[in-house]
Amino acid sequence: MTKLSELPSFRIHLSQLLQQAALTLQIKSTLYIEISRTKQASHGDYSCNLAMQLAKALHKSPREIAGMLINAMPESAYVERIEVAGAGFINFFIRNDAKRIYLKHILQSGDSYGVSSFGDGEKIQVEFVSANPTGPLHVGHGRGAAFGASLANVLSKAGFSVTREFYVNDAGRQMDILALSAWLRYLALNQVSIPFPENAYQGAYVKDMARLIYEAHGDRYVHQPGLLLDGLPEAAHETAISTDEQLDRMIATAKKILGQDYAYIHNFVLTEQLGDCRNDLMEFGVEFDVWFSEQSLFDNGLVARAVRLLDEKKHLYRQDGALWFRSTEFGDEKDRVVQRENGHYTYFASDIAYHLNKFERGFDRVINVWGADHHGYIPRIKGALQALEQDPDNLKIALVQFAVLYRDGIKAPMSTRSGEFVTLRELRNEVGNDAARFFYVMRKSDQHLDFDLDLAKSQSNENPVYYVQYAHARICSVLAQWDGDAAMLVDADTGLLTSPAELALLQCLIDFPDIIETAAQELSPHVIAFYLRELASEFHSYYNSTHFLVPEVPIMEARLALVTSIRHVLKSGLELLGVNAPEKM
């Protein structure tokens, strides 16, 4: 049995041939020899632009250099012929029987085909979603979830050791607002009427949580809410106090009134929302290895430690009573506060501690999937890492543009606070998990995504995901009707596959590992989605032009070997995107 490692990677092989040639010709160059796939069959299978890049340094024409390189190249069992074309491209034509070796490999390795050692076991963390647990996930979070999960899968398949992490913002003001909101709704259930602030959480889920508390504990948490009103100005318009400040005062008063019981309410709403979030994501096929608590950073003294470390390295100064980090020295637009005048650490401070902690946990590389609206935050967090003597280049930020939701051709409102948004759950129920996962990663992540709800809902059958799934189901159907032993196909005479369609499909299958590598390198799972459409398209075309279950057994087996290989690749590709590969549709 042949091992996977013996598979000829044509790209690596060709680049080695060129390297040999350059050595023979005594060409000294640090140029990276890039082998790329061609777009046209007349240009062969792979091409290289090395000759053109060398032209200037060598004072020769690109075509001349290309000819020299070709002559100096060692013989190869895989290469049928090499041509100079155009301005000086070196085009490689791979022998068909060399390509056919792949079929046997794919059939032997099955769904694990495409696994590579590209990542070399490097420890890499992907942190994504990390939504405030203050309400249901909405369609914007859905994109980050689909992107992050697919990216993590791709990296894993490409040979990285991946940890999926969710950062739980359980320590901030937003959580306090949620706790207050739930308590106020709870008081209302106890016939204690206090005006509900506009900037508190309005969603129905808050009332649901209040009811749960009420049903379990009756009036136990009512206490003396009158104080809540006493602590407030009778009418906001009489003072210059902002509604935000008003809310903060209500929170402070609530904490005072409730005492120990505040922790119960706070913890209850956090647990509820986090549990809901986890369920939602699990149903979406998105799972995490680590749920990292922001509060734990405070509890373990890591925030204070991070600030102290910055201070020891003389990157902090005090001004207007607050403690500032000199982020301007690291390329930021302005310095940033890490500890406020009132002694509280800022979110930035805990974020510094968090990111330092990531690297101290031993990750070689860290990828943060952020909403694009956070782009201004990048310089300061990288600056802080640099100040703490970590290499900021080991932190990659993958910015995901928000999905803009359209309903009836109009931009739909998306405010969590007001409760007017389309939840991820709603979307999943409407269009299905598969369509949602695929749709989310069909586009490059840093492009805006126009999510037309009406289109997604009403025309869900025309969603591109079905096209790929259909190809898989068709193959399964054919194999079921054949009713033979799939293991036998490894020995099929693949030399009988000679049509242009068959050779094109073969090449498409050979590309799969390269596609995964590209997707991993560029943090772009969308190339998987595009690849799968391409492969499905080639297959559907082949299916319509060629009958598989023919009387001539050797031909039938050869075609079934090809088709079964396609099935493996479709399945593992869809798996990367978290999409099912149904056997029937």
Partner RNA sequence: GUGCCCGUAGCUCAAUCGGAUAGAGCACCAGCCUUCUAAGCUGGGGGUUACAGGUUCGAUCCCUGUCGGGCACGCCA
Residue 375 interacts with RNA (CB under 7 A): yes or no: yes
Considering only 110, 172, 419, 484, the residue that binds RNA (CB under 7 A) is 172
* Cα–Cα dist 430/530, whole Å: 24
Of 503-542, which residues contact RNA (CB under 7 A)? 518, 521-522, 524, 526-527, 530, 533, 537, 540-541
Per CB under 7 A, 377 contacts RNA? yes
Nearest approach in angstroms of CB 216 to RNA is: 28
Q: Which are the contacts of 190, defined by CB distance < 8 A and separation ≥ 6?
A: 214, 219, 222
Binding mask 71-100 toward RNA (x if CB under 7 A, else -) reads --------------xxxxx-x---------
Q: Are strands 35-37 and 46-48 parallel, antiparallel or unpaired?
A: antiparallel
39 counts as binding RNA under rule CB under 7 A: yes
Q: Which is nearer to RNA, 190 or 518 (CB)?
A: 518
Cβ neighbours of 79 (radius 10 Å): 21
Nearer to RNA, 341 or 454 (CB): 341
Q: Looking at beta carbons only, is 107 or 297 nearer to RNA? A: 297
Angstrom distance (rounded) from CA 395 to CA 367: 6
| Region for 135 from its dihedrals, namely left if φ exceeds 0, alpha if ψ lies in -120 to 50, beta otherwise | left
Of 320, 389, 408, 552, the one binding RNA by CB under 7 A:
320
User: Does 394 engage in binding with RNA (CB under 7 A)?
Assistant: no
- Which is closer to RNA, CB of 219 or CB of 522? 522
Q: Based on the shown chain and the rule CB under 7 A, indicate whether residue 442 belongs to the binding site for RNA.
A: yes
Cβ at position 31, least distance to RNA in Å: 11
Sign of CA dihedral 414, 419, 420, 426: positive
Can you tell me which of 9, 16, 24, 43 binds RNA, judged by CB under 7 A?
A: 43
Q: Does 120 bind RNA (CB under 7 A)?
A: no
Q: Which stretch binds RNA (CB under 7 A): 266-274, 278-286, 301-309, 374-382?
A: 374-382
Cα dihedral: 251, 253, 259, 262 (round 10): -20
- Segment contacting RNA (CB under 7 A): 115-123, 150-158, 390-398, 461-469? 461-469
- Based on its alpha-carbon atoms, the radius of gyration of the chain, rounded to whole angstroms, reads 30
Using CB under 7 A, which residues numbered 231 to 250 contact RNA? 244
Secondary structure element (H or E) that encloses residue 384, with its range: helix 378-387
Lookup: tokens for 84: 């100079």
Q: Is 344 in the site for RNA (CB under 7 A)?
A: yes
User: Nearest 10 degrees: CA dihedral of 233, 237, 240, 242?
Assistant: 80
Write down the least CB distance from residue 244 to RNA, Å: 6
Four-CA torsion 385, 391, 394, 399, nearest 10 degrees: 40
DSSP strand pairing (161-168 vs 123-127): parallel
Judged by CB, which is closer to RNA: 219, or 244? 244
Q: What is the DSSP letter of 392?
A: G
By CB under 7 A, name the one of 24, 53, 96, 190 that touches RNA: 53
> What span, in angstroms and rounded, lies between the C-alpha atoms of 211 and 410?
35
What is the number of other CB atoms lying within 10 angstroms of the CB of residue 495?
Answer: 11
| 449 is a site residue for RNA (CB under 7 A) | yes
Q: Which is nearer to RNA, 222 or 497 (CB)?
A: 497
Least Cβ distance, residue 218 to RNA (angstroms): 32
- DSSP per position, 169-184: --SSHHHHHHHHHHHH
If binding is defined by CB under 7 A, does position 454 make contact with RNA?
no
Considering only 18, 478, 528, 570, the residue that binds RNA (CB under 7 A) is: 478
Kindly tell me which of 211 and 298 has the beta carbon lying closer to RNA: 298
Please choose, out of 142-150, 216-224, 338-346, 356-364, the segment that lies near RNA by the rule CB under 7 A: 338-346
Query: Which residues between 257 and 316 bind RNA (CB under 7 A)?
Result: none
Per-position DSSP letters for 150-167, written without gaps between them: HHHHHHHHTT-EEEEEEE
d(CA 315, CA 72): 57
- Give the residue with the Cβ less far from RNA, 244 or 289: 244
Torsion of CA 466, 470, 471, 474, to 10 degrees: 180
